[in-house]
């Protein structure tokens, strides 16, 4: 396919170069080496919601489908790490949870066991070099390994590896304005007026799914966008630091050795914001929410908060990612990852690619 142009006809067009789109490109280029494939990203690969993710892979799921996605994702991350050698950090995981929720938490673990431990709050506090407070009804459990990546680097590396094939292309800085069904798939109108024709189209645009070519799909499935915030604690993690998860608060504490800081991720309550980089900020309300959790479990540590990261993500009604066929424009839409896009990205991309044969049979066009 030497000399293949950026426009024209493709076997697969992927719209969105975040972590899911990058995984879809990588998997498709290896499974279907004869396909002509193009990735179209409106900004820069890995530079949207992906770049602001904590980048943690820990296989856990609240439902059977989420557990399947988590297991498949953990396997694929491991396989690709062995060949592409991403930089990672690994930490033991401790869970601070209510005694009454212990069994539910154990049942959510995929491929590992969450076990009782005799560790006291003082002992775990010593492990992370922070004072840890537990209520009488709370316990400490131990289980799993948190593997942390640089999400932007992972996305870029996957795309770069895919582009070694002569029949794979990538366009950055180009938005897809509309997607129209055709007799042989779909036609993608780009904002420079050029058209890409594709037998198969996969849309993986993260929080931008509420606007643009799949906005009607997002409304139909009641997708909403919520702010995602994490603060940085200005304290150097010890070399044997652990990740501590607080499930009841939907929060976790992760060591960032490369930054000599900790990352404290928690649930923001700001909904229906727009995915605009330069308008999203860590608000006073965000800091208050984080402070309440920190002072509950790690008294005094809220005073060490120094900046952080903020963006947004699309959320489904049940918190489980959407991977569905949109008949209005003959595309498969994968998104609404509810803050778990990086962790579940390989499984989501794999599920989306496996849908194309069944879509072809039902529509008789692919």
Distances (CA, A) of 259 to 209, 236, 255, 287, 299: 32, 8, 9, 21, 22
Written as six digits, the tokens of 51 are 């770049």
How far apart, in whole angstroms, are the C-alpha atoms of residue 211 and residue 16?
13
Residue among 177, 217, 220, 176 nearest 332 (CA): 217
Could you tell me whether strands 224-233 and 261-266 are parallel, antiparallel, or unpaired per DSSP bridges?
Answer: antiparallel
Helices (H), ranges, 87-211: 102-108, 121-128, 151-162
Domains of the chain from N-terminus onward = 8-51+152-222+318-363 (3.50.50.60), 89-145+228-312 (3.30.9.10)
User: pLDDT digit string (tens) for 55-98?
Assistant: 999 999 989 999 999 999 999 999 998 899 888 999 999 999 99
Q: Is 316:334 a contact under the CB 8 Å cutoff? A: no
What confidence score (pLDDT) does residue 87 get? 87
Could you tell me whether strands 115-116 and 88-98 are parallel, antiparallel, or unpaired per DSSP bridges?
Answer: unpaired
Written as six digits, the tokens of 103 are 């069994």
∠ CA 156-158-331, nearest 5°, is: 100
The gap between the terminal CA atoms of the chain, to the nearest Å, is: 21
How far apart, in whole angstroms, are the C-alpha atoms of residue 10 and residue 218?
25
Site of tokens 């067009």: 13
Given a cut of 50, the residues of the chain with pLDDT beneath it are: 1-5, 361-362, 364-366
What confidence score (pLDDT) does residue 364 get? 45
Residue among 354, 337, 343 nearest 76 (CA): 343
Q: Is 246:293 a contact under the CB 8 Å cutoff? A: yes
Q: What is the pTM of this model?
A: 0.93
């Amino acid at each position: 396919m030497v000399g293949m142009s950026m426009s024209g006809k493709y076997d697969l067009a992927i719209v969105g170069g975040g972590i899911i789109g990058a995984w879809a490109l990588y998997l498709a280029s290896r499974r279907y080496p004869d396909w002509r494939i193009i990735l179209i990203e409106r900004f820069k690969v890995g530079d949207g919601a992906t770049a602001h993710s904590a980048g943690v892979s820990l296989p856990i799921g609240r439902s059977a489908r989420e557990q399947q996605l988590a297991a498949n994702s953990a396997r694929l991350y491991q396989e690709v790490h062995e060949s592409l050698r991403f930089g990672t950090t690994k930490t033991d995981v401790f869970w601070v949870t209510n005694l009454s929720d212990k069994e539910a938490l154990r049942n959510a673990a995929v491929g590992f066991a969450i076990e009782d431990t005799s560790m006291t709050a003082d002992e775990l506090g010593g492990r992370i070099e922070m004072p840890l407070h537990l209520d009488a009804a709370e316990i400490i459990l131990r289980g799993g390994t948190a593997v942390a990546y640089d999400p932007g680097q992972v996305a870029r590396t996957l795309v770069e590896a895919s582009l070694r094939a002569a029949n794979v292309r990538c366009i950055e800085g180009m938005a897809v304005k509309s997607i129209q069904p055709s007799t042989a798939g779909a036609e993608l109108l780009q904002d420079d007026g050029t058209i890409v024709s594709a037998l198969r189209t996969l849309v993986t645009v993260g929080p931008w799914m509420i606007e643009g070519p799949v906005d009607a799909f997002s409304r139909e499935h009641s997708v909403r966008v919520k702010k995602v915030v994490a603060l940085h604690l200005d304290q150097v993690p010890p070399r044997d630091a652990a990740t501590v998860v607080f499930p009841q608060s939907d929060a976790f504490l992760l060591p960032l050795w490369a930054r000599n800081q900790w990352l404290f991720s928690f649930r923001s309550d700001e909904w229906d914001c727009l995915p605009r980089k330069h308008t999203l900020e860590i608000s006073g309300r965000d800091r208050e929410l984080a402070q309440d959790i920190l002072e509950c479990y790690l008294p005094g540590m809220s005073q060490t908060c120094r900046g952080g990261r903020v963006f947004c993500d699309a959320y489904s009604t049940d918190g489980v990612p959407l991977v569905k066929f949109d008949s209005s424009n003959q595309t498969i839409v994968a998104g609404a990852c509810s803050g778990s896009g990086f962790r579940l990205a390989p499984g989501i991309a794999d599920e989306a690619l496996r849908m194309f044969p069944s879509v072809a049979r039902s529509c008789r066009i692919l």
